[in-house]
Amino acid sequence: MRILFKWLYPPRRSIQHRVARAMALLVTLLLCVFGLLAYIAFAHMEDDLVNAMLLSEAQMRLVDVDQLRQNYHYQAEQLGSELQVWWTPAGQSNVTPSFLQSLSPGLHEWHGDGITVHALIQDTPQGRLTLYYDASPHEQRVHQFARDMLLYGGGILLLVFVGAGLLARRAVQPLLVLTRHLERWGPGKANLPIAQDDEAGRLVHAFNRMQDQVDGLLSHERAFAANLSHEIRTSLASLRSDAELLALNVHEESASRRLARMQGQVDAISQSLSAAEQVHSLRPSVQETIVLAEFLEQVWGSVALEAEQRGVRLCELPKQGISLTLDSQALFMIVRVLFRNICKHASGSEVRVSWQYGHVLAVQDTGPGIASEEQELIFTRGFSCGYQFSTEDTAAVVQHGLGLALARQVAVSQNWDLQVLSKHADMPVGTCFLLDVQP
């Protein structure tokens, strides 16, 4: 039994111990209250039953003894106890016991030395009627009921303590499993103080270590990204300078056009780097005013070479005069991803960009469209052309299914909404991406 209770109630002040103890104490308190109320109700019921029996007996006796002119004494067994009745006519000597003669009319009850007695005194013009009832056997039954309640209640409490321990172990088990996993997963030591040494304290301890590790990784990632961005920007600046110098000495139209595209590609890479840094940093986005049509022409210029190779043509832009104030780097990255996605999957199509409802940018092509079951999956990382590529393969991550996922992520970071519409009743041909820039 001692081993069982040590298993159910560990000596350390753990959550399991406190939960089990609180449940057991609560049930114990409720059981004691209910038991006490039951005992009090049973005792009062016994007293009320005896008093009702005396009153009923007195009514029946008065009918018989009112006409008697001499003393009368009756003794019998009632409900397993002794009942005695005395009738004393008016004007005659009282033969009832002396301790009953001094009682006033009415019901009386007294206890002492394990004896419980009820008495009823009634006076009439013809005499006095005295009823005396020894209720000790009934009182013994009340005491026996109390002993039975204690015996059964003790057994129930034992079951409650065992059940509370088992229930507490089952309730706390997931927390223990999580704590053990985090303790093994989060190396190092915690810097924050732990208020208590139990499952919750150990869990906070493990989370503190995980937080320290995550903070270190994020700091390392930001430093690495900043260093990498610096090196890439240095090389891009050199490439753009060389392209500009070459453009000054080249007079052939095709070569000049290609050098201009090279400069545009370098600018596009620089803008993509800036947008990526802005999206993944903790700094607030930079809001600036842009002219939408000119801005879209600039974005299209960054993919013009690829579009020409794929036979994709830009046929329509929003009308001039539309100005927006938003994060231009984020918008540049999203629209560029959409243009490149059209070039990759809708070769030979026409692209139309429109401004709808005053806050929605629609980019539509005339390509083969997207199956309805794949329209939401295209924004999933690693999903491309109906195939799910493993995100564990670094090469696959770079080459497949990242563009639209990145565009959706950038949109979410700006509180924008990016959706796709294809093979719909309103659009039987092609695909339309809808970017809602209203937060």
- For the whole model, what pTM was predicted? 0.46
Taking only the tens place, the pLDDT of each residue in 22-73 is 777 888 888 888 888 888 888 888 888 888 888 888 888 777 766 677 787 8
Per residue in 403-425, pLDDT (tens digit) is 888 889 889 888 999 999 987 76
Query: Mean pLDDT throughout 295-310?
Result: 88
- Flag whether pLDDT at 308 surpasses 60: yes
Query: To the nearest whole percent, how much of the chain has pLDDT over 90?
Result: 15
Confidence band (pLDDT; 50, 70, 90) for 329?
confident
Lowest mean pLDDT among 10-24, 46-60, 241-255: 10-24
The pLDDT assigned to 24 comes to: 76
Q: Tell me the three-class secondary structure of the chain, residue by residue.
A: CHHHHHHHCCCCCCHHHHHHHHHHHHHHHHHHHHHHHHHHHHHHHHHHHHHHHHHHHHHHHHHHHCCCCCCEEEEEEECCEEEEEEEEECCCCCCCCHHHHCCCCEEEEEEECCEEEEEEEEEECCEEEEEEEECHHHHHHHHHHHHHHHHHHHHHHHHHHHHHHHHHHHHHHHHHHHHHHHHHHCCCCCCCCCCCCCHHHHHHHHHHHHHHHHHHHHHHHHHHHHHHHHHHHHHHHHHHHHHHHHHHHCCCHHHHHHHHHHHHHHHHHHHHHHHHHHHHCCCCCCCEEEEHHHHHHHHHHHCHHHHHHHCCEEEECCCCCCEEEECHHHHHHHHHHHHHHHHHHCCCCEEEEEEECCCEEEEEECCCCCCHHHCCHHHCCCEECCEECCCCCHHHHHHCCCHHHHHHHHHHHCCCEEEEEEEECCEEEEEEEEEECCC
Which tens digits make up the pLDDT trace of 335-378? Answer: 999 998 999 889 999 999 999 999 999 999 999 888 888 887 88
In this structure, of 113-122, 176-185, 360-369, 385-394, the range with the lowest mean pLDDT score is: 385-394
- Has residue 193 got a pLDDT over 60? no
Give pLDDT, residue 76: 78
pLDDT of residue 385 exceeding 60, the answer is no
pLDDT at 395: 39
Instruction: Compute the average pLDDT of residues 71-83.
Output: 75
